[in-house]
Structures are given as C-alpha cells and as structure tokens.
Amino acid sequence: MGDLNVIAIVMVIIVTTFTVGMAILVRRFTRTTADFYLAGRKVGTFANASAISGDYLSAASFLGVAAAVYASGLDGVWFAAGFAGGFIVVVLFIASALRRFGEYTIADFAYGRFRSDRIRLVTVFMVLLTSLFYMAPQMYGAGTTWTVLVGAGIFGLSPYNTGVLIVAGIIMFYVFVGGMKATTLNQIFQFWWLWTAMFLVCVLVFVAGNFNYPRDLAEVTAEEHLDVRTVSVAQLTEVDPETGQALIDEVREYMSERGLEPVEAAIETGDPGATVGITVPSTNRLHTLRDMWFNEPGHRYNALDQFSMVLALVLGTAGLPHILNRYYTNPSGQAARRSTFWVLVFIGTFYILAPIAGLAGRLLIDDAWRAGAAPDNVNYVDGLLARSDTLMPTLAQILGGEWLMGAVAAGAFAAMFSTTGGLLIASASAVGHDVYEKYINPDAPEIKRVIMAKASVLFFSLVALGIGLGIPAAGLDRAYPALIAMMVTWAFSLGAGAFVPMLLTGIWWRQTTERGAIAGMIVGGGGSLFFIFMNVMNQLGHFGDEGLLPLLGSLTFPTVFTFPAAVLTIVIVSKIDGQLPKNVDEIWMRIHGTASERHDKELGLDKSGGVFSSGQK
C-alpha cells in the first residue's frame, strides 16, 4: 500500500469509529419499537433535514452523479436535476399528509387508508423489493471505493469483495445496536462530511485546477465525445465485410500512441479471447446521423429515455420507503414540511457542485495522465477512466493529494453507511413491524418486537452483502458505464411505479378503493420490474439485435409507461369497485384535517361548536 493512501485510510477509520461509537452510545434508546424504528418521533426540523439529506445522498449521489456527467456529459446532468427536483413532489403532495396520518411505515399508511390486510402485505413486498434495489449500488460503491482506496483484499478476497464485506459488517453492527437513533445521528454527521468533501473538491477544481466552466465546457465539446469499451482481440481484428475494415483501424485513428501500446500488445499475443480497453466515438442516440458532443443530450438515452429518466427520478423520490419513513420521526406535519424545505436547500447546493466535478474530471484527469502524474491505483484507457465511478477519489487525489483523497474516500463510505442504514431500518420495519407484529405475534411483548427488528437487520445485511458480491459476477459493471447511478434509477423507477400512484390517489382522491390501490401497485411495480429485467438482459447481449425482445429491452427507464398505467388502473378499478372504507370520513380527517379539526372530531364537535351527526362522526 502506497504512502498516498495512509491518511485516506485513517480518515475512513475516523468516520467508521464515529459511526460505531455513536451506535454504542445510544443503544439504550432502542428498548421499544418506536425508539428502534422512529427514534421516538423526537427528531427536530433541522436535524431531520440533515438526516434525510444524508439518507438520500447515497453512493449514487456522491460517486455516481459526477461520474455520470464525466461519462455522458449532459445526459449525466439529468441525474442531478432529477435527484434535486424529486423533493418538490414530496413537499407539495405527500410529506405533511403522511406525517399527520401517523403510524410507522408506508404499509401502515396503506392499511390505515384502505383497512385491508392484503394491501399491507403487497406494500411490504414492494418495500422490500425497492429497498434491495437501492442497496445494490451502495454495496457496489463500497467495493469500488475500497479498490481505489486500498487496492488489496483480506483473507484471500479481492479488493472489491473485501470492501463489500467490511462495509456490510459495519452497517449491520451500527443499525443492529443503535436503531433509528444511531442511524439519524450518523446520517446528520455523514451528510455534512460528504457535502464538505464535495465542496472542497470543487473549490480546488477552480483554485488548483485553473478551472473555468464556460471555457472548459467548450474545450471538452470541441472534440467528438469518446467512450471507453472493453473488447476482445477477436472483436478488434474481425473485418467487417461491408466496409472492409476492422475495429482496430478505427481505434488507431482515435487513440494516442501511448494509449495504443496495451492494445497492440494484446493483438501481438495472438490470443483471440484476450480483452483490452479502447476508446471509440460515441453513438448519438437522439440524432443518429450526427456526431456526439459532450454538451448535448443523446449519449446514453434516446428521446423517450431522456423524458422517462427525469420522470423516474422526480417521482421516485416520493416512493423511496427509507426516505418516507423519516417523515414519521418528525413531531408534527408542519415540522415535516419545514424539514423538506431545508432538504431542498441542502441537496440543491450539492447537486450544483456534482456536475462541476464531472466536467473538471474530463480535463484534469486526462492532463494528469498525459503528464505522468495521475494516480496509479486506477485503470485508464488513453487518459480516460476505465470505470467512471472512480472519478471522485481520483480527481481528489490529483487536486489535493492524500488529504483530499481521504476526505472524499471517507465521504464515500459515509454515504454508503448513511443510505444503507436507512434502507436496513425500512426493510426491518417492513418485516418486524408490518408482518411479525401485525400477523405472526400481535401480542408479543416489546422485548420480542425489538429482537425481531434486530434479527431482520441481520438478515437484510446478509442479503445486501450477497447482492454486492453478485454484481460483478452478473457482468453489470461491464454493461453500464455509470452503473451506480443506473442502479439507483432502477430503484427510483420501482418506487415511482409501485408507491407514488397509490400515495397520491390515496391522499388526494377520496374515491380510491383498496382493490384499485392494489391493482395499481401491481401494474406499476410489476411493470417496472419487468422492463428493468428486460433492459439488463438486452445490455448483457442476450436478445440479439432484432425482434420483440430487444425492442422491449431497449427501454432503459420504464416510468413514462408504468406511472400513468398505474394511475389509470387505480382510477378504473376504483370506479368499478366502489367499495370505500366504512370510516372514510374519519380517514379523510386524519389526512387533511388541521390539529384543531381532528381534536374537535374526536370530541364529536363541529367547527361551530355543535355536535357531528352520526353519519359524520
């Protein structure tokens, strides 16, 4: 291990020690399920806003957004815009009503709104599915960050697998011991750490990197946008019968002499299965007859995917179980609205900084590589990063050496700890609270309920570990250039299809029925899952180039279809069904009534001081 990484490792240890220490200190606050799941509902406005931001700004935000801009230019900026804009839907339509309704989880809301055990169980299944989808990029980020930071494994494991194992173990411990109280305090600390790390990188980009956004954007856009690909020698040397040329001819035209050295060496081995990294011009998916440029959309997504991705990010925020659960920790609906305002401020500033880092990396890393000053613990292909997700630690090491590298590495681990901790709480509450307490053992004493909650944390920690280890084995890291951001968008798509239609109609349309809500969740969530699977199979090359399967697999983000389909399903089925809960007036008062109105309702008084009729009460 080189000296440059020592301070980085020490700073990661500091963050980890704080995380574990906080869990140990607050373990006495996890004696009840309200403490374990909701921190006793006593989290203040500013603190909860910081915790929500820490929960939300995951590895996808800290590592993935800047990486997506680095790899895809303007197409990557959509991630920043969508992530930042998502909370507008939450603050306008969901946060306050959800907190006024009370309870613990989304499944509690579904049950309380529709008075149905079936919808609770369907909601639990969708919560677990969405949480697991969101755990995947956190675990992948753990492995890739460990690889860059340490570059060595333990117990015979690869660096990637070592990072996944260590991060999963730490998160499992602090959530198991400290519950939501420890998770909240750690999320506050971890958010401000990663926000500061991103801020420092961008400050040094302008100071040490002599960065000028308009000028450098024009410089990057002056040349055709290039992609990094991994190909075999057989693919490089195979002659196209139509053009009479091989791929290597195009590669030699675009790559520098130094960049071509490993390519030519691979060809000289004579092994057709040997693989090597190359750079080739990007395909313009919006304008197929034009070249692709950094400052234009079309690098990764066609017109339909462009719209559907932003829609998925904006709506998906309102369907993330671990984010919505945090609103139950506010003491009131008004506090929930205030928290969301501060969240918009915090994450808005963060997402302004991330695209700056992405653009700067496109220039500064290439310059450092050509000058022989680039860090040697990551892989390059002719001056471009072989994996764009390593952008932030690489850029930090170029700009600020071991100290900034340490801050960024610790920020990356903080992001993983923060978000995965929230996901474990959401998953544990879905099993421990929504299933065990409601159906398996409703009369269980408090101690048994807490034990079940902690057992659920252990189980889902092991599941997260398995997911992280399985991602490279499935080949996903080779199929998607900005894999972390892509996987998070899948989770957003699932949440946008499964939960948001049910929440919006359940909160704002009185005629929504239980059958309508279930049908909408199945259509939205199931449809999202189907299209995600088809896209993965298509990207891995299992469908070929022609026919129905590649057509279905070409849709990267399904929200443009699944969200309206789910809403339409809810409306149609609810109209046909017409079976509203018997106490729908009381439910509507819980969701939309003010505190005084709800109090009067409980006393049987109307606003004028009279008494509600039996039909009203």
Domain presence at residue 383? yes
Least confident of 4-18, 297-311, 485-499, 526-540: 4-18
For residues 433 and 428, give the distance between their C-alpha atoms in angstroms, rounded to a whole number.
8
Q: Are residues 399 and 269 in the same domain?
A: no
On the question of pLDDT at 333 being above 70, the answer is no
* CA torsion through residues 428, 433, 435, 440, sign: positive
On the question of pLDDT at 184 being above 70, the answer is yes
Domain presence at residue 99? yes
List Cβ neighbours of 209 (8 Å cut-off, separation of 6 or more).
360, 363, 364, 399
The answer to whether 226 and 292 are in contact (CB under 8 A) is no
For residues 382 and 370, give the distance between their C-alpha atoms in angstroms, rounded to a whole number.
9
Q: Are residues 27 and 147 in the same domain?
A: yes
Q: Which residue has the higher pLDDT, 261 or 551?
A: 261
When divided into structural domains, the chain yields a total of 2
pLDDT in tens, 370-419: 998 888 878 899 999 988 888 998 999 899 888 888 888 888 888 788 78
On the question of pLDDT at 207 being above 50, the answer is yes
Q: Are residues 380 and 416 in the same domain?
A: yes
Q: Exposed/middle/buried for 341, CB within 10 Å: 0-12, 13-18, 19+?
A: middle
Which of 469, 492, 522 lies at the terminal end of a domain, its last residue? Answer: 469
Q: Are residues 272 and 332 in the same domain?
A: no
- At residue 429 the predicted structure's pLDDT band, cuts being 50, 70 and 90, is confident
Q: Exposed/middle/buried for 307, CB within 10 Å: 0-12, 13-18, 19+?
A: middle
Domain presence at residue 474? no
Q: What is the DSSP string of 208-250?
A: TS---HHHHHHHHHTS--EEEEEEEHHHHHPBPTTTS-BHHHH
Model pLDDT, residue 614: 36
Q: Are residues 247 and 335 in the same domain?
A: no
Query: Percentage of the chain with pLDDT > 70?
Result: 89
Q: Are residues 98 and 70 in the same domain?
A: yes
Model pLDDT, residue 33: 59
Q: In 10 A of CB 297, how many CB atoms?
A: 22
Model pLDDT, residue 28: 64
Least confident of 177-191, 251-265, 512-526: 177-191
Least confident of 30-34, 318-322, 477-481: 30-34
On the question of pLDDT at 2 being above 60, the answer is no
For residues 36 and 50, give the distance between their C-alpha atoms in angstroms, rounded to a whole number.
19
On the question of pLDDT at 336 being above 70, the answer is no
Q: What is the DSSP string of 374-429?
A: S-TTS-EETTEESSGGGHHHHHHHHHHHHHHHHHHHHHHHHHHHHHHHHHHHHHHH
Q: Are residues 133 and 174 in the same domain?
A: yes
**Average pLDDT estimate for 71-80:** 90
**Average pLDDT estimate for 254-269:** 90
On the question of pLDDT at 525 being above 90, the answer is yes
Q: Exposed/middle/buried for 571, CB within 10 Å: 0-12, 13-18, 19+?
A: middle
Q: Are residues 46 and 124 in the same domain?
A: yes
Domain presence at residue 389? yes
- At residue 612 the predicted structure's pLDDT band, cuts being 50, 70 and 90, is very low
Domain presence at residue 509? no
pLDDT in tens, 104-117: 678 888 988 998 88
The answer to whether 119 and 347 are in contact (CB under 8 A) is no
Model pLDDT, residue 605: 46
- At residue 3 the predicted structure's pLDDT band, cuts being 50, 70 and 90, is very low
Q: Are residues 266 and 401 in the same domain?
A: no
Domain presence at residue 603? no
pLDDT in tens, 212-247: 899 999 999 998 899 998 888 898 988 888 888 888
Q: Are residues 202 and 237 in the same domain?
A: no
Q: Are residues 273 and 341 in the same domain?
A: no
Domain presence at residue 569? no
**Average pLDDT estimate for 274-290:** 90
- At residue 499 the predicted structure's pLDDT band, cuts being 50, 70 and 90, is very high
List Cβ neighbours of 589 (8 Å cut-off, separation of 6 or more).
597, 598, 601
Model pLDDT, residue 44: 65
Which of 469, 493, 515 lies at the terminal end of a domain, its last residue? Answer: 469
Q: Are residues 269 and 406 in the same domain?
A: no
DSSP state of 611: B
For residues 568 and 523, give the distance between their C-alpha atoms in angstroms, rounded to a whole number.
10
CATH number (domain holding residue 164): 1.20.1730.10
- At residue 31 the predicted structure's pLDDT band, cuts being 50, 70 and 90, is low
Model's pTM, two decimal places? 0.79
Measure CA 11 to chain center: 24
Model pLDDT, residue 610: 41
Q: Which residue has the higher pLDDT, 41 or 571?
A: 571
What is the average pLDDT score of the chain?
A: 83
**Average pLDDT estimate for 134-150:** 83
Domain presence at residue 506? no
- At residue 565 the predicted structure's pLDDT band, cuts being 50, 70 and 90, is very high
Model pLDDT, residue 80: 87
Model pLDDT, residue 513: 95
Give the pair of three-digit tokens for residue 496: 């946008």
- Nearest CA-CA partner of 413 in 178, 233, 166: 166
Model pLDDT, residue 360: 93
Which of 469, 497, 514 lies at the terminal end of a domain, its last residue? Answer: 469
Domain region containing 456: 3-218+321-469
